[in-house]
Amino acid sequence: MKQANRERGVVIWFTGLSGSGKTTIAHIVEDKLIESGVPIEILDGDVVRANLSKGLGFSKEDRDTNVRRIGFVAHLLQRNGVFVITAAISPYQSIREEARAMIKDFVEVYADAPLEVCEERDVKGLYAKARAGEIKGVTGVDDPYEAPAGPEVYCKTDDETPEESAQKVIDKLVELKFLER
């Protein structure tokens, strides 16, 4: 597998609830692309929030600002031939559409799992804290998540393995001619 055109990067935009498997799948895709020699950068939501978006809260405005910043950095990298993976909840459809409009080659990946499954996988303890009333504004609990209407890749992460989901992403990149087998 290799990059189809050195001049053409792509943004692979993972979205889904916390605990849906976005980051796990993103890292498997990243590993496959690195093995193939494809220039790749991963923009994880938690890492970006700690560095590029430090000081932002979790209001809708702050979440949108965070996603805009991720989209802008992804755009800069993509236009220079880099494959970019973003793994951030990005809960609102309108801001994802704004990112899509800015980025020339955009592949949305929806990591979908029921809230109950995400709560079982809750490594950060966010859902437990939200249910206990310790924190507010947790997506899926007391803040909305707007599922994508037509993602390029749909991963039902409670029914498939992370490897199966990652392969769907790779297959779509081949289908869209971003990669060659």
H or E, element range at 110: strand 106-112
3-state secondary structure of 70: helix
Q: What's the pLDDT tens digit per position in 141-179?
A: 989 999 999 999 999 999 999 999 999 999 999 999 999
Active site residues: 90
> What is the per-residue pLDDT across 83-129, written as a single tens digit (0 to 9) for each?
999 999 999 999 999 999 999 899 999 999 999 999 999 988 989 99
Q: 67 lies in which domain range? A: 2-180
Read off the CATH number of the domain in which 78 is found: 3.40.50.300
Q: Whole-angstrom distance between the N-terminal and C-terminal Cα of the chain?
A: 4
Could you give the number of structural domains in the chain? 1
Q: How many residues make up the chain in this entry? A: 181
